[in-house]
């Protein structure tokens, strides 16, 4: 029997349209990103993270009263279930924070009475809990793991600033507050990236929102996706001085290795988020010798990679120096990405559940077919 003849598989699903969405749009040819139709440059300039979350979930910007009510609803949700805090104390040493986060978010489902309810109303309430609790999990785990006291969320502050103060234990200054807010706004959604797609595939089986977000966190961890920001900082540390950039980059390219924080499947020009982060990276690093050196190295890498490969930095490149300046340890960088992207993941799960059809593509079978079964005693290697 001959296998059924089919068109060839699209490797990496490049340019495949997998669903309709009103949430995010990446215009790769023109280097533009939109949340529910609003351009990221406008949102980065004028909107808070909570406004973006409301926008992604409701397809419109909130009024002042709605925003106040929304904040009043979500900030108290930053408190975590006690058993989860106790579990943090039992996590073995040396675990990557993304592994902890993936397990912790799956664990949160145990303490939510609405886990099994996929109605729009229940999903909306669970989404609010997740948007508040993902940053708290990261901050609380970090402090417990490092023998530090926990910091309570401040109801007068937003999620991003609360995250930073609960993580570092310090009240952030104006520059740091602006930088963390910008980080959260810029990472909130990005169309059908790998982690969002993983969330939507999981949601399309009518699995619960915690299952979908757990799948998304698993996908975000990889260095070709959110894990790239950690690899960027490791590269900056490895280079050491701006004068060594040329040799270092040429060496990577000669070995056909990837330069982390560069290139993108959809953007053919500069990622608009990188432009904002480059500027903030310069601003927040000013005054700090090590951080300014990282910024200088980053600028040289950017010039060298553009010249030799003609590719541009993506969101992960300058996010590394911004996070360094904010006092985030390098192995937590990808968790900060997750702390913001939870907005988009939850929006996509709600959109999927609201108009669901199981996502079930096919593969091209390229093995031998059919094969005659061989009894154990007659098998050869
Ligand atoms: N370093 C060196 N060469 C690269 C890079 C890079 N970072 N990115 C793309 N290229 C080259 C690649 O070698 C190929 O060149 P050639 O045609 O000469 O062989 C060409 O560009 C096309 O590459 P591709 O592998 O077909 O591109 P892709 O769309 O499959 O990959 C990517 C997209 C993001 C995985 C890739 O650019 C990459 O590995 N980047 C480094 C990891 C990274 O920064 N990831 C973060 C992505 S954006 C934000 C996020 O999701 O977190």
pLDDT tens per residue, range 127-144: 999 999 999 999 999 999
d(CA 242, CA 235): 12
Mean pLDDT, range 49-69, rounded to an integer: 98
Structural domain harbouring 256? 228-325
Q: Say yes or no: 83 and 59 in one domain.
A: yes
Active-site residue, from 189, 316, 324, 353? 316
C-alpha 209/C-alpha 346 separation (Å) is: 7
- Tell how far the Cα of 258 is from the centroid of ligand 1, in angstroms: 7
139 plus 87 within the same structural domain: yes
Same domain as 271, residue 155: no
For the CA of 317, the nearest atom of ligand 1: 44
The string of pLDDT tens digits covering residues 88-128 is 999 999 999 999 999 999 999 999 999 999 999 999 999 99
Answer yes or no: 316 catalytic. yes
Tell whether the model's pLDDT for residue 282 goes beyond 80: yes
Distances (CA, A) of 344 to 57, 151, 227, 234, 290: 8, 26, 18, 27, 34
**Dihedral sign computed on CA atoms, order 220, 221, 222, 228:** positive
- pTM of the entire predicted model: 0.96
Secondary structure class of 27 (helix, strand, coil) = strand
Residues 25, 128, single domain; the answer is yes
Which residues, 6 or more positions from 375, have their beta carbon under 8 angstroms from its beta carbon? none
Q: Is 264 a catalytic residue?
A: yes
Domain CATH number, residue 272: 1.10.230.10
Whether 157 shows a pLDDT value over 70: the answer reads: yes
> What φ, ψ does residue 120 adopt, rounded to 5°?
-60, -40
| Domains of the chain: total | 2
In this structure, are 46 and 193 located in the same domain? yes
Longest CA–CA span in the chain (Å) reads: 76
- Structure confidence at residue 240 (pLDDT): 87
Instruction: Please give the helix or strand (H or E) that residue 273 lies within, else none.
Output: helix 272-285
**Per-residue DSSP letter, 25:** E
| pLDDT at residue 67, rounded to an integer | 98
For residue 39, give the DSSP letter. Answer: E
Q: Give the number of other Cβ atoms within 10 Å of residue 344's Cβ.
A: 26
25: which strand partners?
Answer: 34
Confidence of residue 184 (pLDDT cuts 50, 70, 90): very high
Same domain, 317 and 337: no
Spatial CA neighbour of 17 closest among 189, 264, 192, 188: 192
| Closest protein CA for atom 27 of ligand 1 | 265
CATH of the domain at 73: 1.10.580.10
pLDDT attached to residue 6: 62
Can you tell me whether residue 171 is helix, strand or coil? coil
């Amino acid at each position: 029997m001959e296998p059924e003849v089919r068109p060839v598989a699209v490797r990496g699903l490049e340019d495949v349209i997998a669903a309709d969405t009103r949430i995010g749009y990446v215009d790769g040819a023109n280097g533009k990103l939109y949340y529910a139709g609003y351009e990221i440059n406008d949102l980065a300039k004028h909107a808070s993270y909570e406004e973006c979350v409301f926008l992604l979930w409701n397809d419109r910007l909130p009024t002042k009263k709605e925003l106040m009510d929304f904040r009043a609803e979500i900030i108290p949700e930053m408190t975590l279930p006690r058993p989860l805090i106790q579990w943090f104390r039992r996590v073995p040493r040396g675990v990557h924070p993304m592994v902890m986060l993936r397990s912790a978010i799956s664990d949160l489902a145990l303490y939510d009475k609405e886990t099994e309810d996929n109605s729009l109303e229940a999903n909306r309430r669970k989404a609010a809990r997740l948007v508040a609790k993902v940053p708290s999990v990261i901050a609380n785990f970090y402090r417990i793991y490092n023998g530090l006291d926990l910091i309570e969320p401040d109801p007068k502050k937003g999620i991003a600033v609360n995250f930073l103060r609960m993580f570092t234990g310090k009240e952030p200054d104006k520059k740091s507050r602006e930088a963390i807010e910008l980080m959260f706004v810029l990472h909130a959604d990005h169309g059908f990236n790998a982690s969002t797609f993983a969330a939507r595939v999981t949601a399309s089986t009518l699995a619960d929102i915690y299952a979908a977000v757990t799948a998304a966190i698993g996908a975000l961890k990889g260095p070709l996706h959110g894990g790239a920001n950690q690899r960027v900082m490791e590269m900056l540390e490895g280079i050491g001085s701006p004068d060594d950039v040329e040799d270092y980059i040429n060496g990577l390219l000669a070995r056909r290795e990837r330069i982390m924080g560069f290139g993108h499947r959809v953007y053919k020009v500069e990622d608009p988020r990188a432009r904002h982060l480059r500027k903030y990276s310069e601003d927040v690093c000013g005054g700090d010798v090590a951080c300014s050196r990282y910024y200088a190295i980053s600028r040289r890498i950017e010039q060298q990679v553009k010249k030799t490969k003609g590719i541009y930095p993506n969101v992960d490149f300058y996010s590394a120096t911004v996070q360094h300046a904010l006092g985030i340890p390098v192995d937590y960088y990808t968790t900060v990405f997750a702390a913001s992207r939870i907005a988009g993941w939850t929006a996509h799960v709600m959109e999927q559940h609201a108009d669901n059809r199981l996502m079930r593509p096919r593969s091209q079978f390229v093995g031998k077919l059919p094969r005659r079964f061989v009894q154990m005693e007659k098998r050869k290697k």
